[in-house]
Amino acid sequence: MPFPLSSPEELAESQAVEMAAALKALRPDVEPLAIDRAVRSEKGLVAAHVRTDAIGLYETHLHLRWWGDQYMPDTAELEALIRHGSIWGVYQRAATKAVGFAAFTGTPGLAIPLGLQLRTPGGALVETSEAGVVGDGGSVTLALVATEGGTAGNTAGGATLPIVTALAGLDPQAATLDGDGLKGGAAEETPASLLERLLAVIREPGHGGADFDYPNWVRSAFAASKVKTIANWVGPGSVGVAVAMGTALAPEEPSPAEIAAIATHLEGLRPVTAELHVLAYLPLVVPFTLAITPDTLANRAAAQAALADHFAREATIGGRMELSRISEAVSAANGEYAHRIESPAAAIAPAPRELPLLGAITWEAWS
């Protein structure tokens, strides 16, 4: 049942009524109107006590309400939410580290160790996460990982990284990132994301490799925006895990380094009989032709924002999107009175690895 929280004024009035009744019973010789004035007057001593007690009682009620919120994970503040998560084995994801590949040049046969440090153009430190040997052609490509989590290590492809750790025979200015660059660095998980993952585990506890386990496993260690488990990807016993990074509003294709890191993480969690394949999602760009009334720039912008939000919330890898729900989202746009979706003409039905993305909108005149 609901627990209404009385305002300080309501509490003061309730106490004033009780105080007046008690004083009238104790002092029947005093004029009742005088007692009423004493317990309600802005300058009265008894009224001051009543107001002070009401404020203290109100703060006590607030504290009790706050504690009540902490008992359930969906209303708890971060500290209590972390505690709830730990009971279920769901922990707040630390800031993730950027990963990528870089080509080194040097003397053929030179052994490059783990932990060789380099610096990105943005000033972040990265290091080799695998050892290697410079080939006969004078180069070798090695995996890199940022030394600290966060977005600072993310670097565009093709950047040249000066080598911080001196190594004889290695060109100190010739470590060049491949076209994918360093990707995957993300800030510490937000409370909203932690709550979403916790509720998913509470509602569907892990089954040791069920369809919903793989997304939970991926998102526990990586800032993935969309994850889809695909059964029998290349035959019986095989499992495809399609992943989108970035955000729900702006999904990004994972780099080969991110795919390798996710695969390594899942190797320690998957059933031993599962043949695992981690895949980048394939974009399915969906252009729209739309008419709206009143046809104003503000209403067009509102309809486009509503569509973008709908795709962010409901588009999933391999998931069908019904046209009626898309139309409902446009109807909710601020200022829209009526609309007509000319295209797509039917539900969006992506392939198992495809993620529907909102494409360009062509606006038609309302008629």
Other residues' Cβ atoms within 10 Å of the Cβ of residue 89:
11
Other residues' Cβ atoms within 10 Å of the Cβ of residue 93:
20
pLDDT at 52: 85
Domain of residue 238, residue span: 204-280
Using pLDDT thresholds of 50, 70 and 90, give the confidence band for residue 362.
very high
Number of domains within the chain: 4
Domain finish residue from 280, 302, 327:
280
- Residues whose CB is less than 8 angstroms from the CB of residue 177 and which lie 6 or more positions away in sequence, other chains included: 100, 101, 102, 144, 155, 156, 157, 158, 159, 160, 161
Same-domain status, 262 and 322: no
Is 53:61 a contact under the CB 8 Å cutoff?
no
- Within a domain: residue 2? no
Same-domain status, 125 and 173: yes
**Model pLDDT for residues 193-229, shown as the tens digit of each residue:** 999 999 999 998 888 889 999 999 999 999 999 999 9
How far apart are alpha carbons 280 and 227 in whole angstroms?
A: 10
pLDDT at 342: 95
Strands (E) in 147-205, as ranges, are 160-161, 175-177
- 113 or 38: which carries more pLDDT confidence? 113
If you ran DSSP here, which 8-state letter would residue 43 be given?
A: T
H or E stretch including 132? strand 132-133
pLDDT at 1: 44
**Model pLDDT for residues 135-146, shown as the tens digit of each residue:** 999 999 999 999
How far apart are alpha carbons 87 and 206 in whole angstroms?
A: 14
Same-domain status, 330 and 348: yes
**Model pLDDT for residues 276-313, shown as the tens digit of each residue:** 999 999 999 999 999 999 999 999 999 999 999 999 99
- Within a domain: residue 186? no
- Within a domain: residue 192? no
Per-residue CA distances from 270 to 68, 254, 263 (Å): 38, 20, 10
